[in-house]
Structure 1
Amino acid sequence: MNTYIKNGLLVGLSTLLLTACNDRLTVQPTQSIDASQALNTERDVQITLTGAYDGISDVNLYGGGIQYTGELLGDNRDVVFGGTFTTLDELWRKTVTTTNVDVRDLWLDSYNAINRANNVLANLDKVSAANRNNYEGQARFLRGSLYFELVKFYGKSFNDGTPASNLGVPLVLTPTATIGDADSRPRNSVAEVYAQVLDDLTKAEQLLPASQPASFAGTADPKGFANKVAAQAMLARVYLQQQNFAGARDAANRAITAGTFSLASTFAGAFTDTSPETIFKVLVTDQDGSNALNTYYGSTRVSGRGDIRVQTKFRQLYEAADVRGQFFTTVNNNVFTNKFNDRFGDVPVIRLAEMYLVRAETNLRLNTTVGATPLADVNLIRARAAAPALTSVNLAAVLLERRLELAFEGQQIADIKRTAGTVGTTPYNANNLVLPIPQREIDTNKQLTQNPGY
């Protein structure tokens, strides 16, 4: 952890403690946290937890950056990036530089939010017995989820070489309150980071309630706060990325059979703020938050920049009757997805449809039928899209269904890597499909090792 991380990690805790739960929290780097501003009450801890959620809603994280980075890095001309931001153009072209500010801010903002979660976890003794498990579960969900994203972007894929020796990212599990040489940390291995992710998310599943009580969520949409099913769904993603197919199958099945969420009746309905299938999302209002997926994927008709333009090559993957293949808007001869048309729409992070596809794939790989047959799960998703029912299904069909259903939602590079695929002619384990450690991190923390190829 270098000076840049450390400055950012010292999250201006005084700001957190003076800001209402539903306000945008302005984070200012600071050299230390004054002892008089330590977390002394349950209310302080709750505000800090709210600050952690505000942290993950940043446009470089689940406010859109994690998703578009995963899509652009894995794209092979299914879209064209036509914007003026060179940082995103580098991602799309797979020519990322060590000074790319999007890559820098994804790292920094992740560690900022992780530090907020660490502050919550370090102060659970201030929380009442009735709320302690819930607060701990939420903080672990946030920390585990962010470390999962970091290791996927900045480390080699779990199926590329030896995870126990491949370099991941530094694990910081306690609050950073002062800056010193001891805070400069080397990168943990990919295996160590995954182990921590699984520890956090497994405990989150055990600790979190089935849904957040109104006493915590207040007037906010409770889907903006982690619950048990959100932890199960994220676990399914992690296990799938590790190729632990039984673990992924069972976690996805738990998320489905919990009955907390249901598929929207229409595909368009899955991308509304009231969608019954959104398991976890980032809350956006006209006063707080920003939807970077609308910014870059949305056409100018819906307040977007119109930067990411969907090509005919991709749209032709859909069958004629499939409504997903019609869920686009054409503006000035450019085509844009309709998934993110609302400038102030909440940003979906995990949908229930994904869990059906995880269960289908893993059951197929394991020759099992836990919860349902692979064919039944795939046809359930296709039926909602008015696509013709399949009579049989193989792995290629399931993976195609994932691509058609989850397009532009952030899973593309992760899917290519875990299936040992290619981005065009570029193999999944190519150096340029792993993000560089930001140059400022390398310059200020001599214990960090840069990724190959940079």
Structure 2
Amino acid sequence: MNYFKNIKQFTFSILVAMLLLQSCSDFLEQEPGTQISVTEQLATKNGVLQALNGTYRELEANLRSERFGTYADLQGGNIKFTPYPTTRSSGVGEIVTPTNIENLYSFDDKSVDSDFASFYTGSYDIINQCNLILEFTDALPDATETEKNEIKAEALTIRAYSHFLLSEVYSQNYGFTEDASHLGIIYNTQSITKGLKYPARETVAKTYSLIIEDITTALSLYSNTLLSAGPAYSYFNATSAKALLARVYLSKSDWKNAYDTANDVITNSGVNLMSTADYIAQWEKQDTPVSEILLELSIPGDNSSGTGANSMFAFFGYTSETVYNNYIASQDLLDLYSATDIRKQMFLERPILTLINNQLVKVNYYFTKKFQGNAAYVSFRLSEQYLIRAEAALKLNNTDQAKTDLNIIRGRANASLLTDTENLEDAIFLERRKELCFEGHLFFDIVRNKKSPSRNDGCISLNCSPSYPSPKFVLPIPLNNIYLNANLKQNESY
């Protein structure tokens, strides 16, 4: 949705029309110049499956966007920027903040023209599409009960996932207040075809309750029947829904449920960790995810240029000394790996001309190998579940299990094994940072643990390391949405 610079021009009728059109447009287009109504589209199983596929496509695009795809690692300190290449007409070798994330990088996003506005509206668009699917599926005359249940399970899980990510970005961490009574998000469970409503934000406690309710309801419906074409890892199933649930419980500090759910995934998913010998090669594969993936949404298949423009390569990729993208590993991250850790091999070290003291000199930069191929956004993989189980075990005073799980990940990486249980909390935090880098966790881990981000190497912001707690650790609700809904309260300081 386009945002008007002048709020006075932002009329109620125009916005409602735009919302209605955007909410349905992706799966109502049948062929060029031809549209059908929502009722017609969702009257058959095939139409609903087309709608569900369209929803997955929007989810993938929302997660793979430059803003969200780099946000947690950028704000947390895993990422810095490359200099302008020699192919530019001016500014060669200069290092500047990419325009799309300029304000949020400085912890100073603007509600009037938020860097994250498209993520906010995109997420609620996805949620509205899920609600439409849920509202029409039970009446399908040509679908079996098993098929209906599978469709509803996937739509409920996508709805929960989208709400969870909105909560991560727009609400303070669960433990920000003792009873999680601080502002959460609007939780939508009905499509806008049911009538336009003006809800208020739930508390964070209520937001998480609704997320968990959606996922647990979905888990009761899954049949793990693949209804759509394409790789199974690109669609939610019972296992990846449980992986999401484990992450939600972790964010909620519900240690018992986090432990049990992650343990269920580890024990019963049938998925195994990558081996030490195969770890680097798996990440270097073209077009396909690593074998321990639980959910990786397929990228669009219309990129004929071979440059990875439709994949995470667009932000992290390296082609040559003059062709490369904006985001690289900071020395803050690189210094965490021990000499024997094979994950040090997960970085391409490449020299790039950089302007230093008005002279162009070659400086080595480090591009992650996770996204050099035609790589999609990594939503869930098995390593995270081991680290969730380790953290939950520690909080449940099961230090032996915590050390065992941590050593499984460290041992696989050929890092030194822990021999005692001292400082396990910090060790788990750092292992998450090393193992899950560039997969969208670090900043959320920092605030969940009530820590402060520390951005040293390469930070070019005036606000590199703000202290916890801070109202700037959440982003502003886009002002257009505030103007539309008088019951929608803005985040503090915006």
Map 1:29-48 onto structure 2 (within 5 A): 34=37, 37=40, 39-48=42-51
Matched, 1:401 2:426: no
1:388 and 2:424 equivalent?
A: no
Q: Distance in 1 between matches of 2:245 and 2:412?
A: 25
1:430 paired to 2:470: yes
Change (3 A) 1:157 1:163: farther
* Residue of structure 2 equivalent to 1:206: 220
Mapping of residues 24-423 of structure 1, within 5 Å: 34=37, 37=40, 39-58=42-61, 60-62=62-64, 65-75=67-77, 79-80=80-81, 82=95, 85-125=98-138, 126=140, 127-161=143-177, 165-177=181-193, 182-209=196-223, 211-213=224-226, 216-218=227-229, 220-265=230-275, 266-271=278-283, 272=285, 273-287=288-302, 291=310, 293-301=312-320, 305-331=324-350, 332=352, 333-342=364-373, 344-368=374-398, 373-393=401-421, 394-423=424-453
Cα distance in structure 1, aligned partners of 2:272 and 2:406: 15
Give the partner amino acid of 1:395.
E
For structure 1, the residue ranges without an aligned partner over 5 or more in a row are none
**Is the contact between residue 19 and residue 47 of structure 1 (CA under 8 Å) also seen in structure 2?**
no
TM-score (norm. length: structure 1): 0.87
C-alpha displacement at 1:92, in angstroms? 2.3
Give the distance between the partners of 2:166 and 2:154, measured in 1 at CA. 18
Q: Does the Cα contact within 8 Å between 1:145 and 1:234 map onto a contact in 2? A: yes
Q: Deviations over 1:170-229 (max 9, x none)?
A: 1211111277xx4233222222211111011112222223x443xx232x1100000111
Question: 2:415 and 2:191 mapped to 1: Cα distance?
Answer: 50
Pairs aligned (count): 433
CA offsets per residue over residues 96-153 of structure 1, 9 Å max, x none? 1224453100101101111111111111211421211111110011000010000111
Q: State the distance in 2 between where 1:206 and 1:177 align.
A: 27
SS at match of 1:386: coil
Counterpart AA for 1:284:
I
Change over 3 Å in CA distance of 1:6–1:375 after alignment to 2: farther
Partner amino acid, structure 1, of 2:80: V
Structure showing greater radius of gyration is 2
Gaps of 5+ in 2: 1-11, 83-94, 353-363, 455-464
Aligned-residue identity in percent:
29
The range that moved more, 11-20 or 244-253, is: 11-20
Match of 2:19 among 5, 8, 11: 8
Give the Å deviation of 1:418: 1.2
Distance 1:64 1:207, change over 3 A: farther
Q: Is 1:294–1:304's contact at 8 Å kept on the other side of the alignment? A: no
Q: How far, CA to CA, are the matches of 1:260 and 1:37 in structure 2?
A: 40
Are the equivalent residues in 2 in contact too, given 1:170–1:185 (CA < 8 A)? yes
Change (3 A) 1:408 1:132: same
Structure 1 pair 221/34, CA: closer, same or farther in 2 (3 Å)? Answer: closer
Closer/same/farther in 2, CA of residues 221 and 277 from structure 1, 3 Å limit? same
Partner Cα distance (1:90, 1:305) in 2: 23
Query: How far apart are the structure 1 equivalents of 2:334 and 2:73?
Result: 16
In structure 2, distance between residues paired with 1:146 and 1:303: 37
> What is the one-letter code of the residue matched to 1:158?
Y
Quote the offset at 1:18 in angstroms. 4.6
SS of 1:329's equivalent in the other structure is strand
Displacement of 1:329 in angstroms is 1.3
**Distance in structure 2 (CA, Å) of the matches to 1:217 and 1:268:** 31
Aligned-pair Cα RMSD in Å:
2.8
Q: Secondary structure at the match of 1:98?
A: coil
- TM-score, normalised relative to structure 2: 0.80
Amino acid at match of 1:381: I
